[in-house]
Amino acid sequence: MPDVASSAVTPIPTRWVGPIRVSGDAVAGEHEVPLATYETPLWPSVGRGARVSRAVEGGIRVTVVDERMTRSVLLVAPDAAAAVSAARAVQGRLAELQALVASQSRFAWLLEIRDEVIGNLLYLRLAFTTGDASGHNMVTQAADLVLQDVLRAEPRLEYGSVSGNLCADKKVSAVNGLLGRGKNVVAELLVPGAVVERELRTSVRRLVDLNTRKNLVGGIAAGSLRTANAHYANVLLALYLATGQDAANIVEGSQGITWAEERGDDLYFSCTLPNLVVGTVGNGKNLPGVELALERLGCREDRAVGANARRLAALTAAAVLCGELSLLAAQTNPGELMAAHVRLERRAEVRA
């Protein structure tokens, strides 16, 4: 009797929203983005942000700060001294291990190894570049290689786990933000006060105050961890699903910071997303709908290795900013959020 049966698909309502105006090294111009979601009010919300982006010269500036994918292996030593000595030996053989990884993979390149010793337990957090792939499997395979090599070289160590949770994949942590995992991307927009009032029906001051009181102070009060935003997870989920990503990575993706301030009459508004785990090739990317979406986003072009994935990360961050700006604006006005939800969900249900 089969345990796994009854193949089918779950269709997620999807729309292309925008275009969003963006600039920066990773992507420029005006681009629509696909949002696959049951929460259909997300479409006009991101759409409103996109309209604001088009009212600003250069639109949303996106900066890709870093990119890497990680896997942490766990080794068990007899004691801390043995763990530390093994860690130092591994660090001393970094070039060797880089060559080893490179010999087995065209795209995985071992950037660095961070070691952490807890009692007799040794965690090695391996960071790689992975080309245009998000790299989950690539780094597991590479970590397996490194792990076997370390076990051979350090006979006092025993296998603990190919994943020691210091990676950390699809889990809440501080390590990903502080040491990096996925693309680290900043999206920014300088919105003239008049545009804020016309398109967002609020004021610069009220938006800045709301961000500070809700996202910063409210987040701190809630016991958040490296998280200060209204709803990054909503936009990330929708874009990840539409582009074939491993969408459980919205867990760490949601850990980002919205930072806004008044600049004269203008609003400076930014979203910092240190953990965007996205790719344009690899698992899930060959499904027909996904491929079409990636092509329409211009993320399947013939570019330098990694450039398609950075483009996707940049568009994702820009879409997150659109959704964030729009929702915050709505929340500055009593009753607006609920009224919009009621109106839009009714409309969406008719259309869907």
Catalytic residue among 144, 149, 209, 341: 341
Nearer to its own copies, 194 or 287 (CB): 287
- The CA distance from 245 to 348, in Å, is 25
Q: Closest Cα to residue 316, out of 136, 62, 67?
A: 62
- The CA distance from 9 to 12, in Å, is 9
Q: Closest Cα to residue 127, out of 65, 66, 69, 64?
A: 69
By the 10 Å C-beta count (0-12 exposed, 13-18 middle, 19+ buried), 14 is classed as middle
Provide, rounded to whole angstroms, the least separation between the CB of residue 278 and its own copies.
13
Q: Closest Cα to residue 283, out of 126, 136, 63, 79?
A: 136
Rg (CA), the chain: 22
Contact 100, 152 (CB under 8 A): no
Provide, rounded to whole angstroms, the least separation between the CB of residue 241 and its own copies.
6
By the 10 Å C-beta count (0-12 exposed, 13-18 middle, 19+ buried), 291 is classed as middle
Contact 260, 268 (CB under 8 A): yes
Nearer to its own copies, 16 or 109 (CB): 16
Q: Which two tokens stand for residue 336?
A: 């607006």
- The CA distance from 216 to 260, in Å, is 10
CA–chain centroid gap for 43, Å, is 19
Q: Which residues contact 141 (CB under 8 A, 6 or more apart)?
A: 104, 105, 108
Provide, rounded to whole angstroms, the least separation between the CB of residue 25 and its own copies.
8
Please identify which residue in the block is written with the tokens 């979406």.
293
Half-sphere exposure (Cβ direction) of 148: Cα atoms closer than 13 Å: 7
Nearer to its own copies, 275 or 302 (CB): 275
Nearer to its own copies, 97 or 277 (CB): 277
Nearer to its own copies, 99 or 137 (CB): 137
Catalytic residue among 170, 209, 262, 336: 170
Is 285 an annotated catalytic residue? no
Catalytic residue among 32, 112, 149, 246: 246
Provide, rounded to whole angstroms, the least separation between the CB of residue 98 and its own copies.
20
Is 214 an annotated catalytic residue? no
Provide, rounded to whole angstroms, the least separation between the CB of residue 54 and its own copies.
9
Provide, rounded to whole angstroms, the least separation between the CB of residue 246 and its own copies.
6
Nearer to its own copies, 93 or 331 (CB): 331
Neighbour count for residue 236 (Cβ, 10 Å): 29
Provide, rounded to whole angstroms, the least separation between the CB of residue 180 and its own copies.
10
Catalytic residue among 39, 116, 144, 149: 39
Nearer to its own copies, 159 or 197 (CB): 159
Residues with active-site annotation = 39, 170, 246, 341
